[in-house]
Amino acid sequence: MTQVLPNARRRGWRQRVVGGLVVVFLVGAGGSALAEPATKVFLNGVPAPVFFNDGDSFRVLAGQYEGGKARLAGFNTLESHGPVHQWGDWTYKELYVIAKLATLNGRNGEWHCESDLSTDTYGRTLWWCPDLAVDQVRKGLAHAMSISSEPARPELLAAQAEAIAAKRGIWAHGVPDYVLTSLHSTVEATEGQKTYNRLVSSRDGSSIKWRHDDAYTECQEVCDVGFESPERVADATQALRADARLAGFIGNYDDARLDTLLRKFAMKQDYSAQLVSPDDAAALATALEELRVAGRIGRAGITSCSYYVDFKRRFGGGKAVCLKW
């Protein structure tokens, strides 16, 4: 008799669930992945049919804004063009199914959105849809997000805290400190622009622009390495300077030295060269670890990863191999 190990049994069960949810998604989409089911959405008070291509964006099918592409503000759903997200005990394919369920959740509701018609960097109109945003986040199908260092909206953070506590959706098998939401390679950069990846905090929804000079290869796995924003480094610097335990020597460290030390600590690199004296090491290590556990610098827990695929290789029959399954 063949013995089935617990981990193998669990993986087999989850694989069957993944397959079943894909069927649910296709049936919910009208039985065809090519169908464009219309959802009623009130746009600035006027009902209009829209097509949700994923859980946080849609295209307006008729009415005053016909043909307009919308990006929904305040939250983010995982990429739905393929299995490109992973963290904790999740597999890439399992999180891909949740991304598809977020799309289906958007299609199955009736929502209310408002906009001043400003646009994002891709030319999409930015809409705030409070009922949809809270619903997606509360169900664990999305996470709260700000595109700056400021926290996300309080109502979305409250919905997210509820989802995390209940281990719903994307939070069921681990909560990363930051969700790696998007990847960009240097080959995509336009002249005068710096390449960056976006990291979004699971604590408060704030964003970090992970600036880099890396040229990624297709389907390369990229993981959060602890890159820090200037705002978080400045906050940690202030905390170290205010720590009474460090008063005897912290004045010997200028801001530039502390900036380098903190960034190396956050990325789990050796920072001993930044010590003014070896005698400072123990006290600094204790203070830094406390800041890390408090979520003020570095990463305290699970790391988020993603596969890089250029936009031109995400769709159609010739899409990247890591997107096929």
Question: Do 243 and 122 fall into the same domain?
Answer: no
Write the pLDDT tens digit of every residue in 13-65: 455 545 555 544 444 444 444 558 999 999 999 999 999 999 999 999 999 99
Question: Do 167 and 284 fall into the same domain?
Answer: no
Which residues, including other chains, have CB under 8 Å from residue 157's CB and lie 6 or more apart? 144, 151, 204, 205
Residue 198 DSSP one-character state? E
Instruction: Note whether residue 300 is domain-resident.
Output: no
Give residue 200's pLDDT.
98
Give residue 33's pLDDT.
46
DSSP assignment of 203-259: TT--EEEEE----PPTT-EEE------HHHHHHHHHHHHH-GGGTTTGGGS-HHHHH
Instruction: Please give the tally of structural domains in the chain.
Output: 2
Give residue 34's pLDDT.
52
Question: Do 155 and 245 fall into the same domain?
Answer: no
CA distance 187 to 214: 9
Tokens of 273: 């060269």
Q: What is the mean pLDDT of the chain?
A: 91
Tokens of 209: 């622009």
Instruction: Note whether residue 212 is domain-resident.
Output: no
Give the closest residue to 274 by CA, choosing from 294, 297, 249.
249
Question: Is the model more confident about 122 or about 140?
Answer: 140
Of 154, 174, 194, the residue at which a domain comes to its end is 174
Question: Do 275 and 152 fall into the same domain?
Answer: no
CA distance 303 to 223: 7
Residue 31 one-letter amino acid: G
Give residue 15's pLDDT.
53
Query: Given CA atoms 108, 109, 110, 112 in this order, what sign does their dihedral have?
Result: negative
Say if CB 308 and CB 220 are below 8 A apart.
Answer: yes
Query: Given CA atoms 1, 10, 222, 124 in this order, what sign does their dihedral have?
Result: positive
What is this structure's pTM? 0.87
Give residue 295's pLDDT.
93
Instruction: Note whether residue 298 is domain-resident.
Output: no
Residue 89, pLDDT above cutoff 80: yes
Instruction: Note whether residue 318 is domain-resident.
Output: no
Question: Do 112 and 236 fall into the same domain?
Answer: no
Write the pLDDT tens digit of every residue in 233-242: 999 999 999 9
Instruction: Note whether residue 117 is domain-resident.
Output: yes
Give residue 121's pLDDT.
85
Instruction: Note whether residue 278 is domain-resident.
Output: yes
Tell me the CA distances in angstroms from 156 to 121, 139, 277, one per residue in order: 23, 11, 45
Question: Do 148 and 41 fall into the same domain?
Answer: yes
Give residue 317's pLDDT.
85
Question: Is the model more confident about 262 or about 324?
Answer: 262
Residue 142: give its domain's CATH number: 2.40.50.90
Residue 255, pLDDT above cutoff 80: yes
CA distance 180 to 305: 6
Say if CB 170 and CB 141 are below 8 A apart.
Answer: yes
Give residue 127's pLDDT.
98
- Domain residues for 244? 230-293
Give residue 35's pLDDT.
57
Maximum mean pLDDT: which of 1-10, 28-37, 316-325: 316-325
Q: In percent, how much of the chain has pLDDT > 70? A: 88
Phi, psi for 47 (deg, rounded to 5): -65, 140
Of 156, 174, 192, the residue at which a domain comes to its end is 174
Question: Do 71 and 164 fall into the same domain?
Answer: yes
Give the least confident one: 27-36, 111-120, 274-283, 315-324: 27-36
Instruction: Note whether residue 311 is domain-resident.
Output: no
Question: Do 49 and 117 fall into the same domain?
Answer: yes
Average pLDDT estimate for 284-297? 97
Question: Do 74 and 154 fall into the same domain?
Answer: yes
Residue 176 DSSP one-character state? B
Q: Give the DSSP H or E segment for 50.
A: strand 46-54
Give residue 26's pLDDT.
46
**3-class SS at 158?**
helix
Give residue 325's pLDDT.
72
Instruction: Note whether residue 264 is domain-resident.
Output: yes
CA distance 248 to 144: 41
Q: Position of tokens 């597999």?
A: 91
Tokens of 112: 């209310």
CA distance 323 to 178: 23
